[in-house]
Amino acid sequence: MGLFFDVLSAINNPNQQGSVDQLSSIVNTINQTTSGVDSATTQTALSALTGGLRSMLKQQPKTGPGGLESMLSQFTGSGSSGLGMLSSVLSPQMQQQLAQTVAQKTGLSANMVQSMLPGLITAALGFLKMGSGKPGSTASNTVLSSFLDGNRDGDVDLGDAFKFATRFLNPPARL
């Protein structure tokens, strides 16, 4: 739940880029990407992506041209934006490895996961971008820092964050 709290903090921080509209767009992208897949399987798929995506991001330099912050700025978290960039970030071998990992954990076919992967990763990177500072701000990206889990508490999972985001955006009706 810690990662989602960082997203909520970014939404409430005027120096960070996060907004409810952006979160809604990301959740909608994930739902469209996984159309026909139940929400529990979608959550499992995102959880399975967490480790591989974290490893990939840790290999990127944090700042400077081509750095992690620069790369995140290429992703909006919705639609097909940034998909061309995705190939340069994730090698075909890494994409295949992630697809196999997700397929094993979810029971979905590797081909189906491979077709969903660009949308899921683009949405995940858009999610992480929500913590970026607004232009002219010196705010650090707390969402990205939490995802990379600098304090190593292990409380980072994209599946859980998606579940809480969905609940946040669609609260249950009260009687």
Per-residue confidence (pLDDT) for residue 19, from 0 to 100: 92
8-34 pLDDT, tens digit each: 999 999 999 899 999 999 999 999 999
Q: How many domains does the chain have?
A: 1
**Over residues 68-80, mean pLDDT:** 63
> Quick check: is 94 in a domain?
yes
Query: CA 165 to CA 162: how far, in whole Å?
Result: 5
> Quick check: is 169 in a domain?
no
43-66 pLDDT, tens digit each: 999 998 888 888 878 877 666 555
Using DSSP, state whether 133 is helix, strand or coil. Answer: strand
Question: Residues 76, 17: contact at Cβ < 8 Å?
Answer: no
pTM: 0.82
> Quick check: is 116 in a domain?
yes
> Quick check: is 35 in a domain?
yes
> Quick check: is 175 in a domain?
no
Per-residue confidence (pLDDT) for residue 81, from 0 to 100: 47
Q: Which amino acid is at 67?
A: G
Run of H or E including 41:
helix 39-58
> Quick check: is 168 in a domain?
no
Query: CA 168 to CA 82: how far, in whole Å?
Result: 26
Query: CA 126 to CA 158: how far, in whole Å?
Result: 12
**Over residues 74-92, mean pLDDT:** 60
116-173 pLDDT, tens digit each: 988 888 888 888 889 888 888 777 888 888 888 655 565 678 888 888 898 899 887 7
> Quick check: is 172 in a domain?
no
Domain of 63, in residue numbers: 2-163
> Quick check: is 74 in a domain?
yes
